[in-house]
Structure 1
Amino acid sequence: MEQNAIVELKNLSKTIRGKKIIDDVSLQLYPGQITGFLGPNGAGKTTTIRMMVGLMKKSGGEVVIDGQTLSSDFEEALSKVGVIVENPEMYKFMSGYKNLLHFARMQKGVTKERIDEVVKQVGMENRIHEKVGTYSLGMRQRLGLAQALLHRPKFLILDEPTNGLDPAGIREFRDYLRLIARTEDVSVFVSSHMLSEIELMCDRIAVIQNGKLVEIRDMRDTQESHYYVEATPADQTLELLGSFGFKAEQVSEGFVIQAEKTQIPKLVQELLVAGIELYAIQPHRKTLEDQFLELTGGGQLAETNPK
């Protein structure tokens, strides 16, 4: 059954001093999915997010959240949104629980039962009554996630949510986020420079460059079949691969070729008959970083790890 989008960007645009910063961006975001938002520095990610939550006036197009537009139903539309921007700000002299109580009073219909529910969801039952000042960055991130989920949003925006976290904290946060997207049926939109983390976290990616959306890709889509071949002598291996019709790209100590799975047994046989010493032949998948570089053509790119 076809899903209905929770969020729709319809021909969204922004012009500043005569320059088009965001150019006719259209995107649909679905419940239960995590979508990564990628682009070089200055590509328009932050401007797009600001327009999505009404912090910046759009020049054209529309933002629709759960069937309601920001233009005509601003408060109602934004009531469906939760936001985490980098390191959430909390009252450090108060406990995590009292922080959540404070935020709950700003929302309609958030009960103490709901607070207990989100505390359990983010795994903070044992620390929630301690002061936030004693929390690690990872714990504060989890508390920020709990706060963003209090009012049962249908759409969650995260801007660089794992900045400053150690590898264990990043993995923990990613696991909680995937669990929440699935169990709460929330559409999650993540902007990050950490391409390796986006690759592990997201179901889809949307790539923006120079204000234009240049790619929307499902991370689970079957990619073109590539295989890594390592054999010696290298020169003779390259020559044979070419004679078999394979275009080979040298990678590390071997070659990457595009081939169908059914072609591999015959290729192995031919290489061995020719006296080639074959050390490895295995599927080769391009990383998200490789794909990103191809999509954006290099240039001033987002970093793979924040400084």
Structure 2
Amino acid sequence: METKPIVKLQNVTKVIGKKKIIDNLSLDLLPGQITGFLGPNGAGKTTTIRMMTGLMKPTSGEVFIDGQAISTNFEQSMSKVGVIVENPEMYKFMSGYKNLLHFARMNKNVTKARIDEVIAQVGLQNRINEKVSTYSLGMRQRLGLAQALLHRPKFLILDEPTNGLDPAGIREFRLYLRKIAIEEGVSIFVSSHLLAEIELMCDRIAVIQNGKLISIKEVKEDQESHYYVEASPKEMANAFFASKDMKVEIQGIGFVVPLEKEAVPVMIAEMVANNLQIYLFSPHKKTLEDQFLEITGGGQIAESHKK
């Protein structure tokens, strides 16, 4: 698959009044990849999305969509973009199909065959001719996704797309996004506060704070190896780790210990030799929530501005 970015934010800065909302933000979004966009309230997520959709102009810097600058090629750039913001609004008195037909008329070259294709893609064949007022929230989300995909966008922006969905609906929506990214080569950009869902959905996570991109990493990127250990007496265990000059973290009744897999048997043998009773010794992976709170210092609301 091609690796040329579908979207490129190049040194983007946004100043409103005397406040710098976005500070020299650069980010590449690749085809076939789902990127999560995280940040505390007021970090600048919504402002960034508004600039990517042409609803707000950067003070400096540029946003490129498929190689074209939004500032000089607005219509061409926006023709490559699809957007879903929270719960998509549809005409509830019309059928799902008539809603899609209505949206198709707003775009050039969207054929009835394409409408049928996206209906099948999001799994609405059996209910597409029923009124939207009879749809569940999950079905309306799928219809919104179909609408956003009608014109074959290369870039899809989702802002809190799973709000209000039950666990089954969230999982279903996640699977549809993965399918679209892989089969269509679409670059998908997801902003959400559901960190556990972002971790399951995305290939890559970008974190913004106070308008600056402070972290970007692959979800499956190798992390430092840690183990969770429960041992008794706890005071003796703490002293044992201290004697090894190991930086351990107390978590509940146990310890999170930085340790490579190859060193585990030796560590266990040494602990037993020091009369420690081991109740649990298991691999430990920090969740995205743990990492997010570490990176952002607790995810506090930014002082300089609000979202």
Same fold per TM (> 0.5)?
yes
Matched, 1:77 2:80: no
What's the CA shift for 1:202?
A: 0.8
Equivalent-residue separation in structure 2 for 1:173 and 1:221 (angstroms): 24
Matched, 1:171 2:171: yes
Equivalent-residue separation in structure 1 for 2:113 and 2:134 (angstroms): 25
Cross-structure match for 2:275 = 275
> How do 1:159-198 residues align onto structure 2 when only pairs under 5 Å count?
159-198=159-198
Identity across the alignment (%): 69
Equivalent-residue separation in structure 1 for 2:158 and 2:129 (angstroms): 25
Following TM superposition, the consecutive aligned residue runs of length 4 or more in structure 1 with deviations greater than 6 angstroms are none
What's the CA shift for 1:299?
A: 4.9
TM-score, with normalisation over the residues of structure 2?
0.96
Equivalent-residue separation in structure 2 for 1:183 and 1:88 (angstroms): 23
Equivalent-residue separation in structure 2 for 1:69 and 1:189 (angstroms): 18
Cross-structure match for 2:130 = 130
Ranges in structure 2 where 5+ consecutive residues have no aligned partner: 303-307
Q: Are the structure 2 counterparts of residues 167 and 33 from structure 1 closer, same or farther at C-alpha, using a change threshold of 3 Å?
A: same
Equivalent-residue separation in structure 1 for 2:127 and 2:108 (angstroms): 26
- 2:283 maps to a residue whose letter is P
* Preserved contact between residue 96 and residue 143 of structure 1 (Cα < 8 Å): yes
Cross-structure match for 1:305 = none
- 2:67 maps to a residue whose letter is G
Matched, 1:36 2:36: yes
Per-residue CA distance 1:189-227 (angstroms, 9 max, x = gap)? 001111111111111111111111111111111011111
* Preserved contact between residue 39 and residue 301 of structure 1 (Cα < 8 Å): no
Cross-structure match for 2:145 = 145
Per-residue CA distance 1:220-274 (angstroms, 9 max, x = gap)? 1101111101111111112112223322211122100111111111001111222
- 2:162 maps to a residue whose letter is T
Q: Are the structure 2 counterparts of residues 128 and 28 from structure 1 closer, same or farther at C-alpha, using a change threshold of 3 Å?
A: same
What's the CA shift for 1:47?
A: 0.6
Ranges in structure 1 where 5+ consecutive residues have no aligned partner: 303-307
TM-score, with normalisation over the residues of structure 1?
0.96
Report the RMSD for the aligned CA atoms in angstroms: 1.3
Per-residue CA distance 1:40-62 (angstroms, 9 max, x = gap)? 11111001110111101211100
* Preserved contact between residue 7 and residue 66 of structure 1 (Cα < 8 Å): yes
Equivalent-residue separation in structure 2 for 1:210 and 1:243 (angstroms): 40
Q: Are the structure 2 counterparts of residues 172 and 2 from structure 1 closer, same or farther at C-alpha, using a change threshold of 3 Å?
A: closer
